A and B are shown apart, each in its own frame.
Chain A
Amino acid sequence: MNDSIVSYLSQFPAYKSFVSAMSSAMGFDAAGIATLLVFFVACFVVVNVLALVGGLGTYAERKISADIQMRQGPNRVGPYGILQFLADGVKMISKEDLMPRNADKFLYTVAPLLCLVGVLATLAVLPFSSGFTLTDLNIGVFYLLGVSSLVGVGIFLGGYSSNSKWSMLGGMRGASQIISYEVPVTLSILAIVVLGGGLSFGTLVGAQGGLPHEWFVLHNPFTFVAFIVFFIGALAESNRAPFDLPEAESELVSGYHTEYTGMRFGFFALAEYIEVFVLCGVAAALFLGGYKVPFNLGTGEFLVNTLNVGPLLASKVGNFLQLGSFVTKTLLLYYVVIWCRWTFPRLRVDHLMVICWKYLTPIALVNLVGCAVWMWAFNGQSLFKIVFGH
Chain B
Amino acid sequence: MFNEVLFLLSGLLTVFGALAVVFTKNLMHACVYLLASLFGVAGLYLTLGADFLAAAQIVVYAGGVVVLMLFAVMLTGGTVKDAGRYAMLKVPSMGNAKTFSIAALGVLVALSMTTKIILGIGRSYDASKELPAFTSTVESIGTLLVTDHVLAFEISSVLLLGALVGAVVISRPRKS
Contacts and interface: CB of A to CB of B under 8 A. Distances in A.
A175 B63 contact: no
A149 B138 CA distance: 21
Interface stretch (B48-56, B82-90, B106-114, B151-159): B48-56
A152 B67 contact: yes
B136 A138 contact: yes
Interface in B1-42: 1-2, 26, 28-29, 32, 35
Contacts of A175: 67, 70-71
Contacts of A142: 52, 55-56, 59
Given A139-B52, A160-B28, A150 B62 contact: yes
A70 interface: no
Interface in A135-180: 137-139, 142-143, 145-147, 149-150, 152-153, 156-157, 160-161, 172, 175, 179
B66 A153 contact: yes
Nearest to B2: A32
A152 B79 CA distance: 21
B29 A153 contact: no
A104 interface: yes
Contacts of B28: 104, 107, 157, 160-161
B161 interface: no
Q: Which of B58, B66, B79 has the most chain A CB atoms inside 10 A of its CB?
A: B58
B63 A139 contact: no
Contacts, number: 74
Contacts of A152: 63, 67
A149 B70 CA distance: 14
B151 to A, nearest CB: 21
Interface residues of B, number: 26
Nearest to A150: B62
A146 B43 CA distance: 13
Given A104-B28, A153-B35, A157-B32, A146 B62 contact: yes
**Interface size classification for chain A:** 20 to 34
Nearest to B56: A142
Contacts of B29: 104, 106-107
Contact of A160 (B51, B56, B70, B138): B70
B64 interface: yes
A199 B63 contact: no
Nearest to A145: B59
17 contacts: A32-B2, A104-B26, A107-B32, A137-B51, A139-B138, A145-B63, A146-B56, A146-B62, A149-B58, A153-B35, A156-B67, A156-B71, A160-B28, A160-B70, A175-B67, A175-B70, A179-B64
Interface of B: 1-2, 26, 28-29, 32, 35, 51-52, 55-56, 58-59, 62-64, 66-68, 70-71, 74, 79, 134, 136, 138
Interface of A: 1, 32, 104, 106-107, 110, 137-139, 142-143, 145-147, 149-150, 152-153, 156-157, 160-161, 172, 175, 179, 182, 198-199
